[in-house]
Structure 1
Amino acid sequence: MTMKVPTGCVFTHIIRGGGKKITYQNAGVDCAFVAALGSGFCNWRIDFTYTNTDNRIYRTSRGRTHPECKIDPMRNNSPQTLPRYGKACAHLYVTGVRRVSQCHHITK
């Protein structure tokens, strides 16, 4: 089954820091115009995953599932220093189904 983020909504993933050190990380949905009038996302969660340069996941920070419906789901993650270079990704799940992901390469 194919599911899409509603038109007028964007999934954002923000990382601040340098090298393997992440000082701030946030992911969420921003909706505007007609999309902001909808019921939102129900039974949602946001996970963060970290992969090495071979694209193998070595760490997952699973968010809690929120049973309420929210038009602008958002999650922050704790500052951390990663053990290796690769990618940091954020994933939005709705009713257990991954709807969208965004990744950033973590390089020297």
Structure 2
Amino acid sequence: YMPHFRAQMNCVPGMITQFGFTPSKTTEEMRATLEIQDKVKNINEIRVEKSKKLVAKGEDPLERYEFDYLLICNKICGKSHYNMQMKIVVETEEEFNAWLKEQKEFKNSLIN
């Protein structure tokens, strides 16, 4: 499930599924919107307060939150269901093409 895109695809073990869509805003454009900036500010204020309590108990503080698009599992499918998430990076086509040029070909990525 990709909540920011209001898109979902169900996965079935052993079955190939796919779909495509084109996001309308890059990750950086979303981070620049006032709505997202306000939400991030609020989240980080809460995290600062929680971090104070953690540090007082000798634990590590929480890291600052930064907006990212997410892919998350929304089916209760096992013990590690809550960990089943992945960051989605939305870039311009030019940024993607520049990144792609920096990548090794797959056959060369297997060689150290």
Task: Classify the TM-score, shorter chain.
Answer: under 0.3
Specify the structure having the higher radius of gyration (Cα): 2
TM-score, normalising length: structure 2: 0.24
Question: More strand per residue: 1 or 2?
Answer: 1
TM-score, normalising length: structure 1: 0.25
Question: More helix per residue: 1 or 2?
Answer: 2
- More contact order relative to length (CA 8 Å, sep ≥ 6): 1
